[in-house]
A and B are shown apart, each in its own frame.
Chain A
Amino acid sequence: MAECHPVGFQWVMEAKQRGATIIHVDPRFTRTSAVADIHVPLRAGSDIAFLGGIINYVIENEKWFRDYVLAYTNASFILNEEYRDTEDLDGLFSGWDEESRSYDQEKWQYEGTETQSAAGQRKKGAENEQENEQENGDSGGAGSRAGGPEGAARSQSHGSGGPSLRTHRPERDDSLQHPLCVFQVLKRHFARYTPEMVERVCGVPQDAFLRVCETLTANSGRERTTAFCYAVGWTQHSVGVQYIRTASILQLLLGNIGRPGGGIMALRGHASIQGSTDIPTLFNILPGYLPMPHAGVDTDLDTYIEGEAAAQGYWANMAAYFTSLARAWWGEAATADNDYCFDYLPRLTGSHSTYETVYAQLDGTCKGYFIVGENPAVGSANARMQRLGMANLDWLVVRDFFPIESATWWKDGPEIASGELRTEDIATEVFFFPAAAHTEKSGSFTNTQRMLQWHHQAVEPTGAVRSELWFYFHLGRIIRQKLAGSTDPMDAPLRDLVWDYPTSGALAEPSAEAVLAEINGHDAQGEPLSAYTELKDDGSTACGCWIYCGVYAEGENQAARRKPGQDQSWVAPEWGWAWPANRRILYNRASADPEGKPWSERKAYVWWDEGAGRWTGHDVPDFQEDKPPWYRSPEEARGPDAIEGDDPFIMQGDGKGWLFAPSGLADGPLPTHYEPQDSPVSNPLYPQQRNPARQIMPSRRENLYHPSAGEAGAEVFPYVATTYRLTEHHTAGGMSRWLPYLSELQPEMFCEVSPELAREAGLEHGGWATIISARQAIEARVMVTDRMAPLAVGGRTVHQIGLPYHWGANGYSTGDGANELAHLALDPNVHIQEVKAFTVDIRPGRRPDGAARLDLLRQYQERAGITLETGKGRS
């Protein structure tokens, strides 16, 4: 966190000065480790085993927060008798279908109910949201899982969606003794994650592991809370989502969710990556996590709403959210008679994630491509494949500060050097537009805490530099002009758009505040709305993103508030604005006990005021204000009324935090340690080596997988590589490698290795190394450092290689890109690449150039016996 988020890390340092204990778990000793109280190095790709070990410790040693767990989680819910765990099926769950390589989630249900997931995969289709944050040039990949039950890309309503319990409340056993209650299943599932096993899988000695367990549990409970912070080191794995799930289970068991000082904080790669999922750049969701409709399924608005809305919780009001969105986009043209222009929306026929889009480019079906603030030729996994895909386009638009590698590969990319591509043969027409920086435009950033902070333009952009808002507004304006006379119904969605943003200045810059006002929404009289609870499904309200409703309450830009911390309460509600409803901690009803009293005075946050008959506290209560703790819902209750007075997780249909996910995840209801796609280690926990449901891409020579431990040829790639960022550079380098003051601080691509590995591989400190996978060979300067250490894993030594991934051939500071080495085996839930743990070989000296580079690659592929089928089996 100190490496990638130094500004946010100031709060960690402040907490440390006030007595907090900082634990850092990372394969490398980083700038974060330097100031942590405890650093634990572990094998990249083994985090579920580590966290699962802590879960086992917490349960075995009775360290869990009983009152919290019993009241606020689904621990007592009883599962359907059909459920089988990995314990019973050698690493698989019930519902596995070998042919489609996917699970039937029906087999994970509660006894007597059918549950719709809040997040993740919903029924009907098998798709779900993706964290499209590639931390690279970012906001690319959205995608779908190949081979889901219906194969179509089904969005999830994510972040604030709720599972729908279509029948009565699940059966429960408050004694937690029933063999099929969630708690017992959880206990059994994690029983094999012992300290010995953690040592064997992660390479973490037992005393170091137990030190973490003891510190964590000593700092959780009524009086204390512990927060987890993670970055993409947790997400970029073929089991990435399950990493976060494991942390969620642990935090629920310890009572650390919905309470001050608790929670799980995702530290995201870009300043407004949160904003880019709230108002998405993803293919399968609409603003506010409304799912994108599907062809052949969502034939009309009612079917769509019925299929996607939850029966209980706040997702039951989805019709109001959608109708208001349609009114914001198409205004008066959206009426009840035409389903509020529901048919203007395109329909999904499958997945269109960033990596599938590359395949579509190579297949010739994707003809045009926009790259905005992203540098896939450096930042995306298997960067070479990205360039080859772009070389097959008709046209390409790149908007960035500098001519990044993704804009110039056609004349100076590695494939030109190797002779694979010839400039004169490339038909792609490339348009480069210089982009304005945040100082040159007004707008908002939404940070990981869901807080919008407005920034004001400081200077006018120079030359041809323009803001994104300018670009898209005028692009839309010109297209609409060209279509003005059209009677083709296909053009109606564009012709009917409300496209009337006021502009100002010599550049005709559209007003960013007008866009914010549209996002906030207004009523039939045009007055700004102040809360999403005011949204109607009758077309009388318009709102561009329901969860942002209130950001422009009373016609004031709430995101621009800058009241200093010392002039307000410690929660600082008047600094910026957080969705939803300016609430700073989600599910904060959990900060009080079931009776509505704070768990402790020290951790008081939100509580029930008996006298006033309402919830109150330091933050905006995340609960219906006047619903008393003793409220019980009638059997037939729907929507928010079905949430009872002691159900803090109001977006979930059952109001509970899910220790066990009865639906929504493609790869199992409980996290399970599987080895990465490429791994030098055999899975010590199960016969199942890899995540059986991982997303394997169609066979192509450009994307070969490695043999893993136990398979012939695995020894050719004996080392574990992990990619990461340095403080001095920004993701794929578009914002840093062109700047002299940043370039001089980290001027060259380097790899970090331990002295032991340097000896073994003959590497010299300060010299050069060539790092090779079946995908590409790259070179880097060698940094031999004690910060990297070999690990003892299952009786053998595992060496890890650290690879910063900022570099490419353009700019002031140049070098080879680490992502060239990575493969495309994706997480099945969010389709993210696995660049935090894969295998490579390393050897001294610089890599060959041109065609010789390809020869080296072929030698390695042959030596390892790699074919198109290698690594693609279920196990």
Chain B
Amino acid sequence: MGFFTDTSICIGCKACEVACKEWNQVPEDGLNFTGMSYDNTQGLGADTWRHVAFIEQPRRLGAQQVDLHHEGDGQFRWLMSSDVCKHCTQAGCLDVCPTGALFRTEFGTVVVQEDVCNGCGYCIPACPFGVIDQRKGDGRAWKCTLCYDRLKADMEPACAKACPTKSIQFGPLEELRTRAAGRVEELHQRGVSEARLYGHDPDDGVGGAGAMFLLLDEPEVYGLPPDPVVSTRQLPDMWRRAAVSALGLAGAVAVAFLGTRR
């Protein structure tokens, strides 16, 4: 199970941010007027598990007609997108967790158990998206649980439930992939040629994400890595190579000893 966030119909109301905090009792994390458009929460973190980005650009969006009279051609668009933990199929955070606090649920999602986490922080650099984060004064790692408790009670996650425009959709990943592809097709037909999917490909660097997005610009614009690769992806290979090297070394040593004996 996972999310499909269709940013083309996001209206930036931030209901997802508030619903997430309310349901999961995530603390408020500071009153900061950032000047980054209407984004005052700045990014995902230990205390922000859904984050809405606001991007102001002097560019046209599809066939949208805008007549703001600035210098240049007066084109303008305001992109909004609600970001969340990707619940990777190959989850770096889970791979490196030494305590087993991070685990994969029966829904295929990745969750931290707050009573097991010892705050070692290994998971933080392991996340290619910069999602998981240590809470100040607490030390433990926190992130979106995809509302594990709600899923167990047959309820959809709080953010998806609160989203008024269905920009955030929850469901089985295969179904969401089909819906997302159809939506991109539809937008292309309507002239929004920049519509593209992100996190939908099971063969990508994280083995496919449990949260996919329909974006209207390059991922970097939204603060997303363009080609995320889980840091632990090479691990088996590395171990294999290490084993080969070790064997080789052992062989060389053996040969050396044998040679000495001679």
- Give the interface of A toward B (CB within 8 A): 2, 6-7, 9-10, 13, 17, 29, 31-41, 204-205, 208, 211, 726-728, 740-748, 750, 754-756, 765-766, 781, 783, 785-787, 789-792, 812-813
Query: Which residues in B have some Cβ–Cβ distance to A below 8 Å?
Result: 9, 11-15, 17-18, 21-22, 28-33, 35, 37-38, 40-41, 56, 58, 63-70, 74, 76-80, 164-166
Interchain Cβ contacts under 8 Å between A and B, 5 examples: A10-B165, A31-B38, A31-B78, A32-B11, A34-B78
Q: Do B68 and A37 touch (CB < 8 A)? A: no
- Contact among B13, B22, B68, B77 with A789 in the assembled complex (CB-CB below 8 Å): B68
Question: Is the pair B12, A766 in contact by a Cβ cutoff of 8 Å?
Answer: no
Smallest Cβ-Cβ distance to A34: which chain B residue: B78
Of all chain B residues, the one with the shortest Cβ separation from A749 is B33
Nearest B residue to A9 via CB reads: B11
| A39 partner residues in chain B, CB cutoff 8 A | 64-68
CB distance from B119 to the nearest CB of A (A): 24
Cα A576 to Cα B227 with chains together (Å): 50
Given A2-B11, A744-B40, A786-B58: A41 and B78 interface contact (C-beta under 8 Å): no
| Minimum C-beta distance from B210 to chain A (A) | 25
Indicate which residue in A9, A781, A785, A813 contacts B37 across the interface (CB closer than 8 Å). A785
Q: In whole angstroms, what is the CA distance A6 to B15 when docked?
A: 9
Check A31 against B80 for contact (C-beta < 8 Å): yes
| Smallest CB separation, B110 vs chain A (Å) | 25
| A744 & B78 in contact (Cβ 8 Å cutoff) | no
Give bound CA distance, A648 to B67, whole Å: 40
Q: Could you tell me the distance in whole angstroms from the C-beta of A385 to the nearest C-beta in chain B?
A: 29
Query: Interface majority SS on B: helix, strand, loop or mixed?
Result: loop
Q: Which 5 A-B pairs have the closest CB atoms?
A: A747-B31, A740-B28, A6-B13, A789-B68, A766-B35
A295 to B32, CA, bound (A): 56
Q: Contacts A31-B80, A35-B9 hold; do A747 and B32 have CB atoms under 8 A apart?
A: yes
Given the known inter-chain contacts A211-B65, A786-B68, A792-B69, please indicate yes or no for A743 contacting B28, CB distance below 8 A: yes
B41 — which chain A residues lie within 8 A by C-beta?
A: 744-745
Within the complex, the shortest CB–CB distance from B135 to chain A, in Å, comes to 15
B214 to chain A, nearest CB (A): 13
Question: When chains A and B are docked, how far (Å) is the Cα of A414 from the Cα of B77?
Answer: 40
Give which listed residue, A35, A38, A740, A747, contacts B33 with CB less than 8 A: A747
Collect the chain B residues with CB atoms within 8 Å of residue A744's CB.
Answer: 28-32, 40-41
- B78 A787 Cβ-Cβ under 8 A: yes
The reply to whether A29 and B68 form a contact with Cβ atoms under 8 Å apart is yes
Determine whether the beta carbon of B33 is less than 8 Å from that of A766: yes
Shortest Cβ gap from A739 to chain B (Å): 9
- B28 CB → nearest A CB, Å: 4
A755 to B58, CA, bound (A): 13
Q: Which of B13, B40, B56, B63 contacts A786 (CB 8 A)?
A: B56
Docked complex Cα distance between A664 and B165 (Å): 40
Contact status of A741 and B18, CB under 8 A, knowing A13-B9, A33-B78, A786-B76: yes
Q: Which of A41, A728, A740 contacts B68 (CB 8 A)?
A: A41
The interface residues of chain A lying within 8 Å CB-to-CB of B165 are: 6, 9-10, 13
CB <8 Å contact, B76 and A29: yes
Give bound CA distance, A359 to B47, whole Å.
48
Please give me the residue from chain A that is nearest to B29 by CB atom: A744
A785, B21: Cβ atoms closer than 8 Å: no
Complexed CA–CA distance, A92 and B107 (Å):
71
Q: In the complex, are the beta carbons of B65 and A10 less than 8 A apart?
A: no
Cβ-defined partner of B67 (8 Å) among A41, A727, A746, A765: A41
Docked pose: A748 CA to B34 CA in angstroms: 10
Q: Bound complex: CA of A29 vs CA of B12, how far in Å?
A: 13
Q: How far is the CA of A37 from the CA of B67 in the complex (A)?
A: 12
- Cα A738 to Cα B56 in complex, Å, equals 29
Determine the chain A residues whose CB is within 8 A of the CB of B38 once the complex forms.
31, 726, 746
Q: How distant is the Cα of A34 from the Cα of B74 in the complex, in angstroms?
A: 14
Is B80's CB under 8 angstroms from A10's CB?
no
Q: Is the CB of A756 within 8 A of B70?
A: yes
A787 B68 Cβ-Cβ under 8 A? yes
From the candidates B14, B64, B70, name the one contacting A37 in the complex (CB within 8 A): B64
Complex interface: chain A residues within 8 A of B22 (CB): 741
Interface centre among B15, B22, B165 (most CB of A within 10 A): B165
A789 in contact with B69 given A745-B41, A783-B35 (CB within 8 Å)? yes
Contact B69 A34 (CB under 8 A): no
Contacts of B35 in A (CB 8 A): 765-766, 781, 783
CA distance A135 to B33 in the complex (A): 25
Distance (whole angstroms) from the CB of A751 to the closest CB of chain B: 12
Chain B residue at minimal CB-CB distance from A19? B190
Residue among B11, B18, B64 with the highest chain A CB neighbour number at 10 A: B11
Among A10, A29, A813, the residue within 8 A (CB) of B164 is: A10
Instruction: Give CA–CA (A372, B111) in the complex, Å.
Output: 45
CB-based nearest A residue for B37: A785
Asked if residues A31 and B66 are in contact (CB atoms below 8 Å), the reply is: no
Known contacts A6-B165, A13-B165, A789-B69, then 17 further A-B pairs from the complex at CB < 8 Å, ordered by chain A residue? A2-B12, A6-B13, A13-B11, A17-B9, A29-B76, A34-B11, A726-B38, A740-B28, A745-B14, A745-B41, A747-B33, A747-B40, A756-B70, A786-B76, A787-B76, A790-B69, A812-B31
Contacts of A38 in B (CB 8 A): 64-66
Q: Which residues of A contact B166 (CB under 8 A)?
A: 10, 13
The minimal Cβ–Cβ distance linking A218 to chain B, given in whole angstroms, is: 14
Chain A residue, CB-CB nearest to B186: A17
Q: How far is the CA of A13 from the CA of B163 in the complex (A)?
A: 12
Contact of B69 among A10, A32, A742, A791 (CB under 8 A): A791
Q: Are A748 and B31 in contact (CB under 8 A)?
A: yes
